[in-house]
Amino acid sequence: MARIIDGTAIAREIRAEVAAQVAQLRAEGTVPGLAVVLVGGDPASEVYVRSKTRACQEAGMHSRLLQLPETATREELFGTIDGLNADPDIHGVLVQLPLPPQLNAKEFLERVSPAKDVDGFHPNNVGRAFVGDPQGFVPATPAGIMELLRRERIDTHAQHAVIVGRSLIVSKPLASLLMAPGANSTVTLTHRHTVDLAQYTRMADILVVAVGKPGLITAEMVKPGATVIDVGVTRVDDPSNPRGYVIRGDVDFEAVAEKAGAITPVPGGVGPMTIAMLLRNTITAAQRVHDRASRKAKAGAR
């Protein structure tokens, strides 16, 4: 039976570390602030943005939720982002995805100031992460996966990591983190056009699945002893559940847990890490502003 990687517990540890950093920054006069922009009323997005603002409050950070209607125009969303880019109380800005169909996400992700882009989706930060520049922000979910592996002491060195999915939010940045010096994995990225997916997944020492297809990965597709990281979070209708749905990952958890060496559950695996790492990126953004202001003040005093 695989070891279950408890993302909720690890995220709690990270959030406690963040709270300690917030206390330090507050004592020095800076209150880290995160603004979350939600367009429309996607039920899952509403849950995620509420979790983000609640997590900020629990860590002692300032948080602001800006809600625009489903019918919001391009100009309205640009205006909202521009206002937040210029607001000195806000250190991190994110636009919750997905956006309604009339809005092209790419335009808005590029509008967020790279210095406040704590999601790490602006091309400046994507490029910096790709070249290994620590000044860039790494997207929260892949950063959270690397942190889970590190804290669980799962060795990535010379391991074969197979990623299923090719999104900008998870898979592409994760591939670059896993192959970077220090992590040293050999990475294979697969996607919907990959022929015979199982031939790749069976080779994986570390298998990461991020496609949003419940139960896609069965036990036959997994190498014995592998580490399996499930990023899928799909709501599946279930009238017997008080919420009317259950959350399912991309992995057939019960069967795969019999064969894998370690596995993340859904819920309670990667998801909570996404929020914890977002807070961490926001602290980094606030710390940079704080340090710049302190240097300026010192230079002025001389």
Ligand X SMILES: Nc1nc2c(c(=O)[nH]1)N[C@@H](CN(C=O)c1ccc(C(=O)N[C@@H](CCC(=O)O)C(=O)O)cc1)CN2
Task: Give the residue numbers of the binding site for NADP(+).
Answer: 165-167, 233
Q: Which of 23, 31, 47, 236 binds ligand X (CB under 6 A)?
A: 47
The 10 Å Cβ neighbour count of residue 283 is 25
Would you say 95 or 290 has its CB closer to ligand X?
Answer: 95
- Per-position DSSP letters for the chain, written without gaps between them: -PEEP-HHHHHHHHHHHHHHHHHHHHHTT---EEEEEEES--HHHHHHHHHHHHHHHHTT-EEEEEEE-TT--HHHHHHHHHHHHT-TT--EEEE-SSPPTTS-HHHHHTTS-GGG-TT--SHHHHHHHHHT-TTSPPPHHHHHHHHHHHHTT---TT-EEEEE---TTTHHHHHHHHHSTTT--EEEEE-TT-SSHHHHHTT-SEEEE-S--TT-B-GGGS-TT-EEEE---EEEE-TTSTTSEEEE-SB-HHHHHHH-SEE--SSSSHHHHHHHHHHHHHHHHHHHHHHHHHHHHHHHH-
- Verify binding: residue 119, ligand X, rule CB under 6 A: yes
Going by C-alpha positions, the residue among 97, 103, 17 that lies closest to residue 60 is: 17
Between residue 162 and residue 181, which ones bind ligand X under the rule CB under 6 A? Answer: 169
116 is catalytic: no
Q: Which of 35, 48, 190, 223 binds ligand X (CB under 6 A)?
A: 48
The 10 Å Cβ neighbour count of residue 240 is 6
Would you say 77 or 169 has its CB closer to ligand X?
Answer: 169
Q: Which of 144, 272, 286, 290 binds ligand X (CB under 6 A)?
A: 272
- Verify binding: residue 94, ligand X, rule CB under 6 A: yes
- Verify binding: residue 108, ligand X, rule CB under 6 A: no
- Verify binding: residue 59, ligand X, rule CB under 6 A: no
Q: Which of 117, 119, 205, 252 is catalytic?
A: 119
- Verify binding: residue 97, ligand X, rule CB under 6 A: yes
For ligand X, how many residues bind (rule: CB under 6 A)?
A: 19
Q: Which of 247, 260, 263, 279 binds ligand X (CB under 6 A)?
A: 247
Task: Report the residue number whose CB is nearest to ligand X.
Answer: 271
Q: Which of 21, 96, 116, 205 is catalytic?
A: 96
- Rg of the chain on CA atoms, in Å: 20
- Verify binding: residue 250, ligand X, rule CB under 6 A: no
- Verify binding: residue 275, ligand X, rule CB under 6 A: yes
Choose the binding region for ligand X from 62-70, 71-79, 90-98, 208-216 (rule: CB under 6 A): 90-98
Choose the binding region for ligand X from 16-24, 84-92, 272-280, 288-296 (rule: CB under 6 A): 272-280
96 is catalytic: yes
- Verify binding: residue 96, ligand X, rule CB under 6 A: yes
Choose the binding region for ligand X from 110-118, 149-157, 206-214, 269-277 (rule: CB under 6 A): 269-277
52 is catalytic: yes
Taking the complex as a whole, how short is the minimal distance between the CB of residue 220 and ligand X, in angstroms? 25
Rounded alpha-carbon distances, angstroms, from residue 271 to 12, 73, 145, 278: 12, 30, 10, 11
CB 73 within 8 A of CB 29: no
- Verify binding: residue 274, ligand X, rule CB under 6 A: yes
As given in the structure block, the two tokens for residue 15 are: 């959030």
- Residues in contact with ligand X by the rule CB under 6 A: 47-48, 94-97, 119, 140-141, 169, 233, 247, 266-268, 271-272, 274-275
Tell me the catalytic residues.
52, 96, 119
